[in-house]
A and B are shown apart, each in its own frame.
Chain A
Amino acid sequence: GNSVTQMEGPVTLSEEAFLTINCTYTATGYPSLFWYVQYPGEGLQLLLKATKADDKGSNKGFEATYRKETTSFHLEKGSVQVSDSAVYFCALSAPHSGGSNYKLTFGKGTLLTVNP
């Protein structure tokens, strides 16, 4: 079946540090890949997405590249801010159990805390 494995947290960084959150996936066919962010007490917000191999998604200084050869979609940011503190979820969209219906499968999430 489809699955997403992402870096265990929590991750604690100082402001302006470089961020990497690793994400690898297993899926049939050619999934689309997403990063969602969840701020405390809120729902999920789409951060970025990539729909085919070698695509780079980017938003708010965050980037992730769809690497089919390594089945990875690692999230990076060159200089984090305190306001980036949140839980980050990697997800894929692919047909489920041999059917034609596309479903989002999420990783367990990575808690990021950025200190001033």
Chain B
Amino acid sequence: EAEVAQSPRYKITEKSQAVAFWCDPISGHATLYWYRQILGQGPELLVQFQDESVVDDSQLPKDRFSAERLKGVDSTLKIQPAELGDSAMYLCASSETQGFSTDTQYFGPGTRLTVL
């Protein structure tokens, strides 16, 4: 069964350093999502791509976070500089289509970020 791949699984960094996370969606999935999940909370959407275009980045802290999906396949989420409050699980998800409420999103295993 196809899966969403993410790396690294765990990342420990110091405050003010730069970090990057990588996601490879299920092959053929046009839509890719990045979520942040704070411990004890549900995931919150940071950014959504349709192919290589950003559809929604309204909750992305653009002063320090950036995301790209240059060829419409895999994607990178970057934080620079990292802050203590960025410690969380970063989840990537993909779906086959976009624009239908019935779309199912498939999640990767996540990257657990700890900022010291």
Contacts and interface: CB of A to CB of B under 8 A. Distances in A.
A43 interface: yes
A9 to B, nearest CB: 10
B100 A101 contact: no
Contacts of A45: 107
Interface residues of A, number: 28
Contacts of B56: 96, 101, 103
Interface string A26-40: 000011101010000
A4 B42 CA distance: 10
A80 interface: no
A65 B21 CA distance: 37
Interface in A58-116: 89, 91, 93-94, 96, 100-104, 106-109
Taking residues whose C-beta sits less than 8 angstroms from the other chain, chain B's interface range is: 20 to 34
A42 B33 CA distance: 17
Is chain B's binding surface mostly helix, strand, loop or mixed? loop
A93 B42 CA distance: 14
Most buried by B among A43, A44, A100: A43
Chain A binding site: helix, strand, loop or mixed by DSSP?
strand
Contacts of B72: none
A42 B109 contact: yes
B42 A51 contact: no
Contacts of A46: 104-106
Interface string A8-32: 0000000000000000000000111
A94 B101 contact: yes
A100 B101 CA distance: 10
B82 interface: no
Nearest to B110: A43
Interface in B40-77: 40-45, 48, 55-56
Given A41-B109, A43-B6, A108-B42, 4 more contacts: A34-B104, A89-B43, A94-B101, A109-B41
Interface of A: 4, 30-32, 34, 36, 41-46, 49, 51, 89, 91, 93-94, 96, 100-104, 106-109
